Amino acid sequence: MSKRIEIYDTTLRDGMQREGMSVSVDEKVQIALRLDRLGVHYIEGGFPGSNPKDVEFYQKMAGHRLRTAKLAAFGMTHKRGARPHQDPLLRQLLKVDTPVVTIVGKSWKLHTQKVLRVGLEENLNMIEGSVAFLRKKGREVFYDAEHFFDGYLDDPEYALRTLRTAVDAGASRVVLCDTNGATLPSQAAEIVARVVGEVGVPVGIHAHNDADCAVAVSLMAIEAGATQVQGTVNGYGERCGNANLISIIPALKLKMGLDCVSDRRLAELTETSHFVAEMANVSPETHQPYVGENAFAHKGGLHVSAALRDARTFEHVDPALVGNKQRILVSELAGRATVLKKAAEMGIDLAGDEHKETLNQLLKRLKEKEHAGYHYEVADASFELFLRRELGLHKPIIELDNFRIIVQKRKSAVISEAKIILKGDGRGELPIAFAEGNGPVNALDVALRKLLPASHPKLVDELSRIHLVNYKVRILNENQGTGAVTRVLLDSSDGHDSWGTIGVSENIIEASWEALVDSIEYGLVKRRRRR
């Protein structure tokens, strides 16, 4: 049986100290429930003595039954000169009625003298009194030794005395905090090993990331004997953030063979990471280890070929174990294996000697397009349409004869008007439509949606579901000034799936039109296939 490691999440308290990050009480509740589903053992919901939002959070959580986690409330030692039962912050901790209370205290003489402005013995009395008071009230108490590593380097004996004082008063865990994030992994391991050998209770680690070592410090602390690791989802937190539990959990389980969460819950890691990011209104980091969109993405031709033969050649773990997936990116570096894999995903079989020449031509055309500025790895829909067009498998829905855009400044408003003429069936006048929009691209979109129902009445319902969700422009050769080539990327959705399309031209309107047409064509084809 492997050693069990406790996962203590402080996203809702320490993570919320990141600049610009804030969530509502209901969002905090949703995050807590998702963390419980992931299988963490402790969820620190906030500092109820500091703001009414955290008090309300604990009140709302009383109506929810947690399956794996215990709630912890965060507080600090009582004020100097006061008795524990008179301290309003300690009394507030009792009111929220969590099974665990985490108390932070000073272990560095510098902070004792400069921040608390008390003597060293009085600091010990404050630790002892606060822990003992909460224990007598039936709470399990974790003692967070703030700035412990700095304090230990300054005066190891006094830093250790603060821990012993908390243990003697009834603390069931002591947590060593690298509050300034300055400790290196090997140094942390040496200090943790000594603490583990002396304090007599389980030891935890809480590392900050100012030296970009928080995950490494946490893992080394576990190797040195710590049995609880604290951190936040995606490493959120003040300054450079906290130890990232999203990296720590799979490292503990998959690399170190330690018991922390079940296999089934580990498979929800990617979903949890993205869920919390969305709740906090932060874009998920695409290159984040284990859970990022690009964590198991392969672009270079030789890498792709090897990964497809045996994923272990370029993937350090099976992405499915953490709820992620392998991605094969299409680019100018793509080899035969890349195109074969992507074509197979689309239901197109290009394997075998009979397709050799076709495959060679596809690769040649792909590299030409990429050289011209196309970037298919971020435009999955355009790449599928490219393949289908090159293979003669796509019958276009939109065939342009010509379009015209007029942009007119009228007093305080700018009006964009589009005129689109599509190719006809040869039996009458060409289909034509006019439309105004809040910009040239929007005007084209509106005009096109006016035209298509007349020529394709069966597509009306599908067309109404497709909408643009993002529009990005990039100048590819800035040194050409206003004559530079423009790349336009569109993200679209039908409420069920989302997809990306691309257009490239020296004219931004033409590039936008190309991406817009691909967006609509792909959306209509996709919905018909899904039926």
User: pLDDT category, 12, cuts 50, 70, 90?
Assistant: very high
Same domain assignment for residues 84 and 181: yes
* H helix runs in 231-355, sequence order: 245-250, 263-266, 269-279, 301-309, 336-345
Interval 92-121: pLDDT, tens: 999 999 999 999 999 999 989 888 889 999
Per-residue pLDDT averaged across 386-408, rounded?
88
Q: Specify the pLDDT at position 497.
A: 79
Residue 513 covered by a domain: no
For residue 85, give Cα distances in angstroms to 29, 105, 134, 171, 201. Answer: 30, 17, 9, 18, 26
Residue 277 covered by a domain: no
CA quadruple 151, 155, 161, 164: dihedral sign:
positive
Same domain assignment for residues 113 and 24: yes
Same domain assignment for residues 323 and 433: no
Same domain assignment for residues 305 and 440: no
Q: Specify the pLDDT at position 369.
A: 85
pLDDT at residue 482 tops 70: no
Residue 128 covered by a domain: yes
Same domain assignment for residues 362 and 419: no
Domain ends where: 201, 235, 261?
A: 261
pLDDT at residue 1 tops 50: no
Per-residue pLDDT averaged across 50-58, rounded?
90
pLDDT at residue 224 tops 90: yes
Average pLDDT of the residues of the chain:
89
Q: Specify the pLDDT at position 222.
A: 98
Name the nearest CA neighbour of 164 among 116, 113, 201. Answer: 201
Name the nearest CA neighbour of 474 among 396, 386, 375. Answer: 375
Interval 136-173: pLDDT, tens: 999 999 999 999 999 999 999 999 999 999 999 999 99
Per-residue pLDDT averaged across 509-525, rounded?
91
Q: Specify the pLDDT at position 296.
A: 84
Which residue type does 237 have?
G
Residue 311 covered by a domain: yes
From the number of C-beta atoms within 10 Å of its C-beta (0-12, 13-18, 19+), residue 216 rates as buried
Q: Is there a contact between 234 and 277 (Cβ–Cβ < 8 Å)?
A: yes
Residue 523 covered by a domain: no
Same domain assignment for residues 137 and 40: yes
Same domain assignment for residues 226 and 342: no
Percentages (nearest 5) of helix, strand, coil residues in the chain: 45, 20, 30
- CA 411 and chain centroid, separation: 45
Residue 1 covered by a domain: no
Residue 476 covered by a domain: no
Q: Which of 254-268, 280-294, 338-352 has the lowest mean pLDDT?
A: 338-352
Q: Which of 197-206, 234-243, 370-379, 503-512 has the lowest mean pLDDT?
A: 370-379
**Helix (H, G, I), strand (E, B), or coil: what is residue 315?**
coil
In the sheet with 486-493, reading across from the earlier edge strand, the strands are 467-475, 486-493, 498-505
pLDDT at residue 396 tops 50: yes
- Domain count of the fold of the chain: 3
For residue 371, give Cα distances in angstroms to 37, 382, 480, 503, 505. Answer: 46, 16, 17, 13, 13
User: pLDDT category, 201, cuts 50, 70, 90?
Assistant: very high
Q: Which domain holds residue 301?
A: 297-390
Highest mean pLDDT among 198-207, 335-344, 448-457: 198-207
Domain ends where: 390, 414, 445?
A: 390
Between CA 249 and CA 7 the distance in angstroms is 8
Same domain assignment for residues 405 and 374: no
Q: Is there a contact between 211 and 178 (Cβ–Cβ < 8 Å)?
A: no
Same domain assignment for residues 143 and 69: yes
pLDDT at residue 248 tops 90: yes
Highest mean pLDDT among 12-16, 441-445, 471-475: 12-16
User: pLDDT category, 494, cuts 50, 70, 90?
Assistant: confident
Between CA 466 and CA 461 the distance in angstroms is 9
More confident call, 332 vs 109: 109
User: pLDDT category, 364, cuts 50, 70, 90?
Assistant: confident
User: pLDDT category, 313, cuts 50, 70, 90?
Assistant: confident
- Residue 334 tokens read as 């793509």
Q: Which of 316-325, 338-347, 439-448, 519-528 has the lowest mean pLDDT?
A: 338-347
Q: What is the CATH number of the domain that holds 228?
A: 3.20.20.70
Residue 485 covered by a domain: no
Q: Which of 174-188, 220-234, 400-414 has the lowest mean pLDDT?
A: 400-414
Same domain assignment for residues 200 and 338: no
**Helix (H, G, I), strand (E, B), or coil: what is residue 486?**
strand
Q: What is the CATH number of the domain that holds 433?
A: 3.30.160
Q: Specify the pLDDT at position 500.
A: 87
Q: Specify the pLDDT at position 213.
A: 98
Q: Is the pTM of this model over 0.85?
A: no
pLDDT at residue 357 tops 70: yes
DSSP 78: P
User: pLDDT category, 184, cuts 50, 70, 90?
Assistant: very high
Interval 79-90: pLDDT, tens: 887 888 989 999
DSSP 4: B
pLDDT at residue 196 tops 90: yes
Domain ends where: 241, 261, 281?
A: 261
For residue 251, give Cα distances in angstroms to 291, 324, 372. Answer: 13, 15, 42
Q: Which residue has the tokens 């002591």?
A: 174
Same domain assignment for residues 386 and 405: no
Q: Report the chain's C-alpha Rg in angstroms.
A: 30
Q: Specify the pLDDT at position 331.
A: 57
Percentage of the chain lying above the pLDDT 70 cut: 92
Same domain assignment for residues 247 and 371: no
